[in-house]
Amino acid sequence: MAGDSAERAYKARALAQAHPLTPLATKFRQRAVAQEELDQPMAELARWAGEALLKGYCLRKVEEQAAGFSVSEGADLDVVEARTAEIAADLRGGDPGPHLLGDAALTFEALDRIITSELSSRHDNYREAVDASGWQQFEEYIAWWAVRGYAFRAAEAGQGAPA
Nearest by Cα to 84 from 31, 6, 16 = 31
Residue 159 confidence class, pLDDT cut points 50, 70, 90: very low
Examine the pLDDT at 161 and tell me if it is beyond 60: no
Report the share of the chain in percent with pLDDT over 90. 70
Query: Using one digit for the tens of pLDDT, what is the confidence trace for 129-152?
Result: 888 898 999 999 999 999 999 999
Residue 160 confidence class, pLDDT cut points 50, 70, 90: very low
Mean pLDDT of the chain: 90
Query: Using one digit for the tens of pLDDT, what is the confidence trace for 11-33?
Result: 999 999 998 999 999 999 999 99
Q: What is the pLDDT of residue 73?
A: 67
Q: What is the pLDDT of residue 3?
A: 57
Examine the pLDDT at 41 and tell me if it is beyond 90: no
**Domain coordinates of the chain in residue numbers?**
5-162
Q: What is the pLDDT of residue 128?
A: 77
Query: Using one digit for the tens of pLDDT, what is the confidence trace for 86-116?
Result: 999 999 998 999 999 888 999 999 999 999 9
Query: Using one digit for the tens of pLDDT, what is the confidence trace for 67-90?
Result: 888 777 667 899 999 999 999 999
